Amino acid sequence: MTKAAAPVRQALADLPGPDLAARAAVARRATEVLRPSGALARLDELAAWLAGWQRTDRPRVERPAVLVFVGDHGVLAEGVSAYGSEINHEMLRALRDGVATASVMARQLGARLEAVDVGVGRPTGNLRREPALTAARFDECLAIGRSAVAALDADVVVLGEMGIGNTTAAAAVCATLFGGRPSEWTGRGAGIDDAGLRRKRAVVSAARRRVGAADPLDILRQLGGTELVALAGATLEARARALPVILDGYVVGAAVAPLEVARPGTLDHCLAGHLSAEPGHRRLLDRLGMHPLLDLDLRLGEASGGMAALALVRLAAACVTDVATFAEWGLER
Amino acid sequence: MTKAAAPVRQALADLPGPDLAARAAVARRATEVLRPSGALARLDELAAWLAGWQRTDRPRVERPAVLVFVGDHGVLAEGVSAYGSEINHEMLRALRDGVATASVMARQLGARLEAVDVGVGRPTGNLRREPALTAARFDECLAIGRSAVAALDADVVVLGEMGIGNTTAAAAVCATLFGGRPSEWTGRGAGIDDAGLRRKRAVVSAARRRVGAADPLDILRQLGGTELVALAGATLEARARALPVILDGYVVGAAVAPLEVARPGTLDHCLAGHLSAEPGHRRLLDRLGMHPLLDLDLRLGEASGGMAALALVRLAAACVTDVATFAEWGLER
């Protein structure tokens, strides 16, 4: 165990579980409301999942929060993206000014969105050649993620990211954590050309060779980025508070995967909001045993796929909590 | 051409198309807003589709309406459902009292829901042995559907149904319209047992033999039901008004399929909201060339899957209309 991972290990040692009675009560109520039992299938399952983590037999989405963590990546020196880090700065500004895609989606959903600057203007090390983060910086980013969640007044949180170059980091983390050919984990991100994709795969290969077999959390420190580590911290803090989490796409999944590998079950409070267009995402969710709610080929990030899922999670909760049961409606089944 | 189909034929002869300039403008704007071009994939396509039919380059979902048509089915005499027609009466009451699943979803979405009684307490003929509807009743139900849409003040409409026995009608319409084995079109509906499913398949087979090769709209009259014909009328009226439509599941698809067979392109203003758990639905959407937005195994009806899709269509529109372009934000791409 590395020094960097110590606070994570501590948190992993004591994970609160869901309220099983609340979950069971909602699963039962879903069979008693005014519709054929099982007719809402996946939506009823979502309501029960939400009830367990919200610790109530009346699950609701009334105070949704969205956190988008933003950071710069030193690996851009390898030519792995069509864009530069200045975009992170601009998008942070756009998110805060309410004109970015995520801002608009959050407004539509009545969700509170916070864009958290974890490392804009302060890029990571180039993961091909050196650790992305020092142990101290890892702890700092983890704490930023935890604090962001600790400060929320929310009944569900959607986690997202923005960081040019971070699909390279995600691919490197996944390839090192789970094995398999680097090409299986590496996609076009925001839309790089063929030559760029070849460079990206070579970077992922070299990065994996550099790190080799390592502790899952050390893999995250060496190959992730500031916003990925903050996402892991946010997810841990949400678990400590039994706050249900909706994960956005590939980068978010890669950021939290080391937690699940370090201790299976750590992500039980997380829903995979969607399956992204990044080819590694399906493979990753399979490894995590997660079934994405939506499959719309999205590849934006900014929590966008997670927010699309949020719209359905809200409906799912209402469809158990607010629909009358046969008995309440004065009918025998 | 049967007499019954005359008003439909008339409407089919003169179908307004989408505003192609508005559609193109929104497709272009989707490539100019603050995100990588194509990153919202299917959502951007939805926004462009909506723009074409709303005839504006600023598509929005601000006044969504939901119509749920309800009717009784004479084919229940064949033992094809676990429930009886009294459920239609109760659900009509529950829908109007705001305690049904569809009521709750509509409230969550800020949509106006109307439950339209097309034939509750006045069952169709038993489609196995006789035409479900006379020509006069067909015209009456068609007019009910048209009037319901004509009375709306809406920018998008979700169409749904409720009618114990109507998955048998849907299967009979599809099997007769498209061919193939009756078992491929026949599922468990609200949850019938194995023996009931066998009876249901036999009914679909016999009904198809009875009707044989016929005009698509006569197939709908002979094998559909009051709510199915109203759905076809509503869809036609929406097309005449260039009002975009979100279709719910298998029964709604079967109700409108004869329009598309009678004149290909008639359903261009319709989106398949979801793929239902009814096994015939995928086959039907393939025949109609439609790609369902969601795949959640829902099998409720009541416009529920269409409303789940509505939540995403609203986000899709806002993600083009409200997100700033690079130019508006003062940046070069």
Question: Could you report the per-residue pLDDT of B105-116, keeping only the tens digit for each?
Answer: 999 999 999 999
Residue B4 confidence class, pLDDT cut points 50, 70, 90: low
How many angstroms separate the CA atoms of A205 and A208, rounded? 5
Residue A34 has pLDDT above 70, yes or no: yes
Supply A256's token pair: 């939290």
Distance between terminal CA atoms of chain B?
57
Cβ distance of A191 and B94 shorter than 8 Å: no
Q: What is the mean pLDDT of chain B?
A: 96
Q: Which residue out of B32, B35, B42, B298 would a mutagenesis test of the A interface target, given it has the greatest number of A Cβ atoms within 10 Å?
A: B35
Name, in order, each residue with C-beta under 8 angstroms of A84's C-beta and a sequence gap of 6 or more. Answer: A76, A164
Query: Which residue of the set B78, B227, B260, B302 is catalytic?
Result: B302
* Whole-number Cα distances in Å, A224 to A73, A167, A170: 9, 10, 7
Residues of A in contact with B323 (CB under 8 A): 99-101, 103-104
Q: Where are the alpha helices (DSSP H) in chain B?
A: 6-12, 20-32, 41-54, 86-97, 101-109, 135-150, 166-178, 182-185, 194-211, 216-223, 226-240, 250-262, 279-288, 304-321
Paired residues of B294 in beta bridges: B274
- What percent of chain A has pLDDT above 90? 93
Quick check: B162 and B95 in contact, CB under 8 A? yes
Supply A3's token pair: 């020094």
At B32 the pLDDT is 97
Supply A76's token pair: 């851009």
Among A8-17, A137-146, B256-265, B304-313, whose mean pLDDT is lowest? A8-17
Residue A1 has pLDDT above 50, yes or no: no
Mean pLDDT value across residues B40-65? 97
Q: At residue A162, what are phi and psi to the nearest 5 degrees?
A: -150, 125
Which 3 state secondary structure label does DSSP give A276? Answer: coil
Paired residues of A64 in beta bridges: A156
- Residue identified by tokens 């969710």 is A285
Which 3 state secondary structure label does DSSP give B187? Answer: coil
A134: left (phi over 0), alpha (psi -120 to 50) or beta: beta
Residue A333 has pLDDT above 80, yes or no: no
Q: Which tens digit of pLDDT belongs to each residue from A201-233?
A: 999 999 999 999 999 999 999 999 999 999 999
Cβ distance of A40 and B295 shorter than 8 Å: no
Cβ distance of A299 and B108 shorter than 8 Å: no
Residues of A in contact with B190 (CB under 8 A): 36, 39
- What percent of chain B has pLDDT above 70? 98
By Cβ distance, the residue of B36, B41, B108 closest to A314 is B108
B332 in active site: no
Q: What is the DSSP string of A36-91?
A: -TTTTHHHHHHHHHHHHHHTSSS---SSEEEEEEEE--GGGGG---SS-THHHHHH
Among A190-199, B2-11, B155-164, whose mean pLDDT is lowest? B2-11
- The alpha-carbon radius of gyration of chain A (Å, integer) is 20
Residue A7 has pLDDT above 80, yes or no: no
B232: left (phi over 0), alpha (psi -120 to 50) or beta: alpha
Q: What is the DSSP string of B98-140?
A: T-SHHHHHHHHHT-EEEEEEEETTSPPP-TTTS-SS-HHHHHH
Q: Which tens digit of pLDDT belongs to each residue from B228-267?
A: 999 999 999 999 999 999 999 999 999 999 999 999 999 9
At B1 the pLDDT is 43
B327 CB-contact burial (10 Å; exposed 0-12 / middle 13-18 / buried 19+): exposed
At B44 the pLDDT is 98
Q: Where are the beta strands (DSSP E) in chain A?
A: 64-71, 112-119, 156-162, 245-247, 270-272, 274-275, 294-295
How many angstroms separate the CA atoms of B60 and B313, rounded? 9
Element holding A102 (H helix, E strand): helix A101-109
Residue A278 has pLDDT above 90, yes or no: yes
At A57 the pLDDT is 97
Mean pLDDT value across residues A71-79? 97
Residue B2 has pLDDT above 60, yes or no: no
Residue A324 has what DSSP assignment? P
Cβ distance of B109 and A299 shorter than 8 Å: no
Residue B332 has pLDDT above 90, yes or no: no
Which 3 state secondary structure label does DSSP give A231? Answer: helix
At A28 the pLDDT is 98
| Residue of chain B minimizing CA distance to A318 | B104
How many angstroms separate the CA atoms of A223 and A229, rounded? 10
Q: Which residue out of A32, A108, A275, A326 would a mutagenesis test of the B interface target, given it has the greatest number of B Cβ atoms within 10 Å?
A: A108
How many angstroms separate the CA atoms of B331 and B172, rounded? 57
Q: For the stretch B164-199, what's the b/e string if a residue is b when 16 or more beta carbons lie within 10 angstroms of its beta carbon?
A: bbbbbbbbbbbbbbbeeebbbbbbbbbebeeebbeb
Residue A4 has pLDDT above 70, yes or no: no
How many angstroms separate the CA atoms of A139 and A143, rounded? 6
Residue A5 confidence class, pLDDT cut points 50, 70, 90: low
Mean pLDDT value across residues B145-163? 98
Distance between terminal CA atoms of chain A?
57
Q: Give pTM, 2 decimals.
A: 0.97
Q: How far is B211 from chain A (nearest CA, A)?
A: 31
At A2 the pLDDT is 52
At B14 the pLDDT is 85
Q: Which residue out of A193, A315, A320 would a mutagenesis test of the B interface target, given it has the greatest number of B Cβ atoms within 10 Å?
A: A315
Paired residues of B114 in beta bridges: B67
Cβ distance of B315 and A105 shorter than 8 Å: yes
Q: Which tens digit of pLDDT belongs to each residue from A148-183?
A: 999 999 999 999 999 999 999 999 999 999 999 999
Which 3 state secondary structure label does DSSP give B304? Answer: helix
A264 CB-contact burial (10 Å; exposed 0-12 / middle 13-18 / buried 19+): exposed
- What percent of chain A has pLDDT above 70? 98
At B7 the pLDDT is 76
Mean pLDDT value across residues A65-77? 98
Element holding B159 (H helix, E strand): strand B156-162
At A332 the pLDDT is 76
Name, in order, each residue with C-beta under 8 angstroms of B71's C-beta and a sequence gap of 6 or more. Answer: B88, B117, B118, B119, B120, B123, B124, B141, B161, B163, B166, B225, B226, B227, B228, B230
